[in-house]
Structures are given as C-alpha cells and as structure tokens.
C-alpha cells in the first residue's frame, strides 16, 4: 500500500500515517452546531475531510467516518425561541439542509452522525467516572474538569496550565477551583435539560465530542486515527477533549490531529460583525456545488482560502472544461464501440503522490488538468487513438472519483449511437440541413 504522510497538529510535523488497527482508518470530524443556515466556512471541513476519506478508501483502507451534529447549545435554545418552534424542530430542519448541501458539494454522508441528545446516558456516566477518579468535581450543580490534574495538558496547542493561569482573568463569583478548569456539566433552567445525580442541566460541548468518540469506537478503547476540524477548534475544544480522554480512557483520543484553515471573503475574515457571511446554500444555488468543491480543493486544506468572484469564476471555468472533455471522450469511446467498464487506469503515480503528501489537492488538480490535456489530444487523433483515449479517460474518471468531483454521464444506447453516426456522416457530406436537424435532436437528448 502507498505510504500516506499527514501533518498532525500534535507535534506540528509531517508524519507517516500508521493506522491504530492495520487496514482500517477511523476519522472523527467536529460537525456544526445546528441552529441556522450553514455558511461556506462550515463546508470546508466537509469537503477536505471527505477528500481524505476518499483517498484512504481508494488506497484500500476500510474507513469509518464519523461527524456529529451538535444539537444542544444556547444558540439553539435562543433561535428556537425566536422562531417559536421546538429545539428539536429547529435542529432537525437544519440537519436536513446540511445533509442536502453535503450532497450538493459532492461529499459522502458520514457513516455515523451522532447527536449529543442521543448519547446522554453515556455522557452522564462518563462525567460521573471523572468525578469519581478525581479529575473532575461538582460545584453547585456544575461539574468542572480539574485541568491541573492532567500533567500533559497543553500538548496539542502549547497552552499549558501555567501559561493559562498567568494569563487568566479573575472570574468573580466563580465556583471553579482554578480559572482554567472547564465545564463538563452546566446547571441550567432554560431549554433542553436532563436530570442527573449532579443536578438538572446539560453537558459541555468539549465533553460531547469526547464521549461520542469513546462510545462509537469503544472497541479501540476510544482511540481513533484522525480527529479533524477547523483550526479554531484546536484550543480549547480539542485540547479539552484530549484532557478528558486521558483522564477517562488513558489515551490521547486520536493519533493524528488535522486542522483546516478558514475561508476569507475577498481577503477579509468572514464574520457576522463585518456582515460578509456567505451562506452555503446561496453559493450552491448561484455557482453550483461542484465549482465550489473545486474552489475549496484548489487551496491546500491547511492554508487560508479566499472566496471571491474571481476564485469561484475560475473554478466554474475549470469545471466546465472537465465536464466538456469528459463527455466528448465518453461519447467518442462509445461510438468506437469501446467497453467503458473494461478501461483500466495506468501511470497514476504523480497524482497519488501529491494526495499522499498531506492531501496536496491543488497539485493533484494540476495533475488532473494535465491528464485532461492528454485526453483532449487523444480526442483529436485521426484515426482515433482508442488506446490512449481509453487509458486517459480511465485516469480522469478515477481522479474525479477520488477528488469527489461529479460529472454528468452520457451513456449511449444503440439507437443514439446510430443517430450520432448519422450526424457525423451528414457533417462530413456537408449536408448542413440534415446535420442541423440531428444536432437539435442530440442536444435535446443531452448528448451534445
């Protein structure tokens, strides 16, 4: 199997991927809090970690891909109130929309999409375990993690307890033993809540992800290969997940920690206060999901990405180019009676080398475009170089699959093949009246 190298935030270096369980890859990506329409930034991890998933699958690994929907949060409670609907109604409609957009941008749905509300029993017992072993404590209905009980705290982000304490503001009226302790359970009177031995309330976000991973991957002791999410989640979210996992499962939760960069709008940070938040549904509607995916993959996943009229237009142009060449080759091969299912990819080293080097999608796309050039050259050969065209087509098809770029297929039955040949003959005989009539038919059928 080809070697994969990835840049883990844990240790900040490129590392060779060695799975926890041979032949298998477990991936968990922090998903959205489902309270309103997702913006394009929410879909960068959806696209880049889908590309990781597809790459591992293509290399022959058995992949389990998990991404959650956070359905317990103040923002959900407030938004549901505003809309006058229940929290469940709100989260369910946002999840349905998120799933639709995930399809639109060409990402596979996760194998498992856990929601905190479905793991409450496990959360309560997990927190209870942490209180019992002394790494957490109750304080008037809240439960906090005793951060200084974890000697390795700060390993991921560099934010050690000593550093945090010196920079911490003194919190007035806090029940916490230390300002750097974080909540595992919060007392609450409002919104969705559960009755527990520690009191009525709901879990903290950092605990949710941790417990869901621990439950879903309990066979591996709650230790997975890859934990992913945006850079902003590195601290405190992921650091706190690790601390809990060390205290509960005696492991650091994930072997590799991968973080994706942000999306800027015209080189400005996307934020509510700047009023430049771009919704995913608007981009998909206006430009299409595939150009958006191409645009995202055209930047390395760890680098900042610019969304602008130019970058999306460029991606649209590239997508058209791919679609046109793919269709022409597919039709030409069928007219030459080549069995498409018999075509075998060949000579793909460069493409896969790029992807296996920390998912270098911009370079992989450059390889795809180079292959497209070869495909177009083969299309222009006369007599048709079926062998080169077939091999190139098989490569392009495979590359598109690995990158998750969907194209329209043009299967031809015998009747349509005959029609197409008639069109070519009419053109050759300069019978333009006849060729125009057939051309219209072929366009109507979506073949031309």
User: Shortest Cβ distance from residue 225 to Zn ion (Å)?
Assistant: 16
213 binds Zn ion (CB under 5 A): no
30 binds Zn ion (CB under 5 A): yes
User: Shortest Cβ distance from residue 237 to Zn ion (Å)?
Assistant: 6
How far does Cα 104 stand from its chain's mean position?
13
209 binds Zn ion (CB under 5 A): yes
DSSP 261-279: --EEETTEE--TTTT---B
Q: Which is nearer to Zn ion, 80 or 233 (CB)?
A: 233
In angstroms, rounded to a whole number, what is the distance separating the alpha carbons of residues 288 and 280? 10
What sign does the CA torsion over 81, 85, 89, 94 have? negative
- Smallest Cα–Cα separation from 27: which of 302, 251, 216? 216
User: Shortest Cβ distance from residue 32 to Zn ion (Å)?
Assistant: 10
In angstroms, rounded to a whole number, what is the distance separating the alpha carbons of residues 293 and 288? 9
User: Shortest Cβ distance from residue 245 to Zn ion (Å)?
Assistant: 12
Judged by CB under 5 A, which stretch of 30-38, 127-135, 167-175, 389-397 contacts Zn ion? 30-38
Q: Which is nearer to Zn ion, 186 or 293 (CB)?
A: 186
How far does Cα 52 stand from its chain's mean position?
8
| Residues 332 and 384: beta-carbon distance below 8 Å | yes
Order across the sheet with 182-187: list the strands.
Answer: 136-139, 142-145, 182-187, 199-203, 194-196
Give the gyration radius of the chain's Cα atoms: 26
156 binds Zn ion (CB under 5 A): no
265 binds Zn ion (CB under 5 A): no
| C-alpha pair distances (Å), 414 with each of 383, 411, 417, 418, 421 | 22, 10, 5, 6, 10
Judged by CB under 5 A, which stretch of 24-32, 72-80, 335-343, 355-363 contacts Zn ion? 24-32
Q: Which is nearer to Zn ion, 26 or 395 (CB)?
A: 26
Judged by CB under 5 A, which stretch of 2-10, 158-166, 208-216, 312-320 contacts Zn ion? 208-216
What sign does the CA torsion over 296, 302, 303, 307 have? positive
Spell out the residues 6+ positions from residue 95 whose beta carbon is closer than 8 angstroms to its own: 34, 69, 71, 113
| Residues 390 and 332: beta-carbon distance below 8 Å | no
User: Shortest Cβ distance from residue 183 to Zn ion (Å)?
Assistant: 15
| C-alpha pair distances (Å), 32 with each of 5, 44, 95, 230 | 27, 12, 9, 11
Q: Of all residues in the chain, what percent are helix, strand and coil, respectively (each to 5)?
A: 50, 15, 35
User: Shortest Cβ distance from residue 223 to Zn ion (Å)?
Assistant: 16
Give the number of C-alpha atoms closer than 13 A to the C-alpha of residue 279, restricted to the C-beta side.
10
Q: Which is nearer to Zn ion, 209 or 389 (CB)?
A: 209
Q: Which is nearer to Zn ion, 65 or 137 (CB)?
A: 65
Judged by CB under 5 A, which stretch of 206-214, 217-225, 248-256, 306-314 contacts Zn ion? 206-214
Tell me the site size for Zn ion, rule CB under 5 A. 2
Q: Which is nearer to Zn ion, 209 or 315 (CB)?
A: 209
User: Shortest Cβ distance from residue 229 to Zn ion (Å)?
Assistant: 6
| Residues 351 and 394: beta-carbon distance below 8 Å | no
Q: Which is nearer to Zn ion, 66 or 389 (CB)?
A: 66
User: Shortest Cβ distance from residue 123 to Zn ion (Å)?
Assistant: 13
User: Shortest Cβ distance from residue 68 to Zn ion (Å)?
Assistant: 7
Q: Which is nearer to Zn ion, 106 or 229 (CB)?
A: 229
Q: Which is nearer to Zn ion, 74 or 422 (CB)?
A: 74
User: Shortest Cβ distance from residue 233 to Zn ion (Å)?
Assistant: 6
Q: Which residues bind Zn ion (CB under 5 A)?
A: 30, 209
């Amino acid at each position: 199997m080809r070697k994969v190298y990835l840049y883990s935030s844990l240790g900040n270096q490129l590392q060779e991927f060695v799975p926890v369980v041979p032949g298998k890859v477990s991936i968990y990506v922090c998903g959205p809090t489902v309270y309103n329409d997702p913006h394009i930034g929410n879909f960068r991890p959806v696209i880049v970690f889908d590309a990781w998933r597809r790459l591992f699958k293509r290399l022959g690994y058995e992949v389990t891909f998990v991404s959650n929907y956070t359905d317990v949060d103040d923002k959900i409670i407030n938004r549901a109130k505003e809309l006058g609907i229940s929290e469940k109604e709100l989260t369910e409609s946002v999840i349905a929309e998120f799933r639709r957009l995930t399809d639109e941008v060409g990402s596979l749905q996760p194998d498992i999409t856990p929601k905190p509300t479905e793991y409450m029993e496990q959360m309560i017992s997990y927190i209870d375990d942490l209180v019992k072993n002394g790494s957490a404590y109750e304080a008037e209905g809240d439960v906090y993690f005793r951060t200084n009980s974890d000697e390795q705290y700060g390993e991921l982000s560099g934010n050690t307890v000593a550093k945090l304490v010196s920079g911490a503001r003194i919190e007035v009226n806090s029940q916490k033993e230390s300002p750097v302790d974080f909540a595992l359970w919060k007392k609450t009177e409002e919104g969705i809540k559960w009755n527990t031995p520690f009191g009525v309330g709901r879990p903290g976000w950092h605990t949710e992800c941790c417990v869901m991973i621990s439950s879903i991957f309990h066979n591996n002791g709650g230790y997975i290969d890859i934990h992913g999410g945006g850079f902003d989640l590195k601290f405190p979210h992921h650091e706190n997940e690790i601390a809990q996992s060390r205290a509960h499962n005696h492991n650091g939760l994930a072997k590799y920690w991968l973080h994706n960069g942000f999306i800027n709008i015209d080189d400005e940070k996307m934020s509510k206060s700047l009023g430049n938040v771009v919704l995913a549904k608007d981009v998909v509607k206006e430009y299409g999901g595939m150009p958006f995916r191409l645009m995202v993959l055209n930047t390395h996943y760890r680098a900042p990405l610019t969304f602008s009229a130019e970058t999306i237009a460029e991606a649209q142009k590239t997508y058209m180019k791919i679609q046109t060449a793919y269709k022409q080759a597919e039709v030409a091969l069928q007219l030459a009676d080549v069995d498409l299912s018999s075509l075998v990819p060949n000579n793909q080293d460069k493409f896969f080398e790029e992807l296996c080097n920390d998912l270098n999608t911009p370079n992989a796309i450059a390889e795809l475009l180079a292959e497209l050039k070869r495909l177009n050259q083969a299309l222009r050969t006369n007599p048709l170089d079926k062998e080169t065209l077939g091999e190139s087509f098989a490569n392009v098809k495979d590359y598109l699959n690995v990158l998750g770029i969907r194209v329209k297929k043009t299967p031809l039955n015998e009747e349509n093949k005959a029609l197409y040949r008639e069109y070519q003959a009419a053109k050759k005989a300069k019978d333009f009246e006849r060729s125009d009539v057939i051309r219209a038919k072929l366009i109507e059928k979506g073949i031309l």
